[in-house]
Amino acid sequence: MATHLTNLGSLLSWDSKERCIKTRENIEILLDDGVIKEIGDSTEKGENIIDCSQKLVTPGFVDSHTHPVFLCGREDEYRQRVSGMSYQEIAESGGGIQSSIDGVRNASVEELRERVSNRMDSFLELGTTTVEAKSGYGLSTESELKSLEVLDLVSRSHEIDIVPTFMGAHTFPPEYSDRGTYVDLICEEMIPAVSEQGIAKYCDVFCEKGYFDLDQTTRILDTGKQNNLLPRVHADEFQDSGAAELAAELECVSADHLMAVSDIGIRSLAEKNVTATILPGTTFFLGSHQYAPVKKMVERGVSIALATDFNPGSSHLQSMPFVLVLACLYLNMSIEEALIASTWQGAVSLGMERQVGSIEVDKKADLIIWDVEKPIEIVYSCPGAKIKHVFKNGNQIF
């Protein structure tokens, strides 16, 4: 059934032909067959007419960095952090990513499927219409494949678009006292199996002191590339370890976090056109003050995407509207820059900019109708303005 959105106030989106941010006033949009058919002053009428009362329309969010395949939350760890322990101290004492492993290993596919599906409902309600989702809490061949199978099952039954990433290199599981042996397992068993099953598009590594070093990261991402998995990397989150330079050298599509990135790292990302995926929700949720130096990166020509990093430990938040609030307050991005970074640039980093990430004819009808008129009102209302309607593939979600 064709849907006719009338009486829209303004539309804010990237324009891929003119390669700039575009705002259009007083427009109408026709959605049909899951795509945007017409955008104009007065479009052909559809059967389903929705009066948008002069409100703002933006593309649905593309959240290009999440870890949604876990069983339970880690509230006890949160309690420890509130009483003064740092995320790193908790991780060193056996908590952190380690404490999510048993949950995933012992869960059935069905249990995980239900949890992940519910999380996808929440993403959609918050306006996220495309989400990148990583495995990485199983850390055995069987449990990593199970995590990716769960994502595959959910993406077949759920309206949201899910882009799967293999992240067996999230940390070292406790049974591997010899770290090299676990890297062997990733490269010799996990990556070939993931690739053979065709259940992931990307390979990601947590390249950080105490996790995977530069040589291990190189080996894993190179093996991924040889097996048709494109490289993304968690880089310079807590300390500068030269991971941003490595991301450029390995031609990663994205380097993520970058709270501690160096000037040389920034230059390397710009030179090789690696998207910097910035996750201010993590800084916030960790109670840290070290936000990534986005202004400097933009001045030096780095493309910025914004995402949630949704996970049970360091960023238990799914709201892209709240990420916009943080981006404006702490990354000094304008609301327009932040909106493009969380829609268009996220889509670019996922190689999906022809289908999603902007409001243009023939693209997927993935839209948010906000309960505000001007973009700045989205972030002026903390933790992010109300959403009136979300459309995914032309279907009204709520």
Residues 51-70 that bind ligand NIG (CB under 6 A): 67
363 binds, among Fe ion, ligand NIG, none (CB under 5 to 8 A by kind): none
The residue assigned the tokens 């991780």 is 91
**Does residue 234 touch ligand NIG according to CB under 6 A?**
yes
Give the residue nearest to ligand NIG (CB). Answer: 313
| Amino acid making up residue 178 | D
Stretch that binds ligand NIG, among 146-154, 197-205, 305-313, 373-381 (CB under 6 A): 305-313
Give 97 or 154: the residue with its C-beta nearer to ligand NIG.
Answer: 97
Closest CA to 277 of 241, 323, 224, 317: 323
**Does residue 95 touch ligand NIG according to CB under 6 A?**
no
| Amino acid making up residue 54 | Q
- What is the closest distance, in whole angstroms, from the C-beta atom of residue 167 to ligand NIG in the complex? 8
Residues 121-160 that bind Fe ion (CB under 5 A): none
Strands (E) across the chain are located at 3-6, 10-15, 20-25, 28-32, 35-40, 48-51, 56-59, 61-63, 128-134, 161-169, 202-207, 230-235, 254-257, 275-278, 304-306, 367-370, 387-392, 395-396
Instruction: Answer whether 366's CB lies under 8 Å from 31's CB.
Output: no
Give 236 or 309: the residue with its C-beta nearer to Fe ion.
Answer: 309
**Does residue 100 touch ligand NIG according to CB under 6 A?**
yes
Closest CA to 367 of 1, 102, 3: 3
Q: Could you give the C-alpha distances from 15 to 41, 128, 174, 372, in angstroms and in order?
A: 17, 20, 48, 22
**Does residue 309 touch Fe ion according to CB under 5 A?**
yes
- What is the closest distance, in whole angstroms, from the C-beta atom of residue 86 to Fe ion in the complex? 17
**Does residue 237 touch Fe ion according to CB under 5 A?**
no
Give 254 or 314: the residue with its C-beta nearer to ligand NIG.
Answer: 314
The torsion region of residue 21 among left (phi > 0), alpha (psi -120 to 50) and beta comes to beta
Give 67 or 113: the residue with its C-beta nearer to ligand NIG.
Answer: 67
Give 74 or 201: the residue with its C-beta nearer to ligand NIG.
Answer: 74
Closest CA to 214 of 239, 195, 189: 239
Site string for ligand NIG, 263-292 (x = CB under 6 A): -------------------x----------
Angle at 166 between CA 118 and CA 285, to 5 degrees: 55
Give 96 or 321: the residue with its C-beta nearer to ligand NIG.
Answer: 96
312 binds, among ligand NIG, Fe ion, none (CB under 5 to 8 A by kind): ligand NIG
**Does residue 313 touch ligand NIG according to CB under 6 A?**
yes
**Does residue 168 touch ligand NIG according to CB under 6 A?**
no
d(CA 153, CA 201): 15
d(CA 59, CA 367): 5
Instruction: Answer whether 288's CB lies under 8 Å from 242's CB.
Output: no
**Contacting positions for ligand NIG (CB under 6 A):** 67, 96-97, 100, 206, 234, 237, 282, 309, 311-315
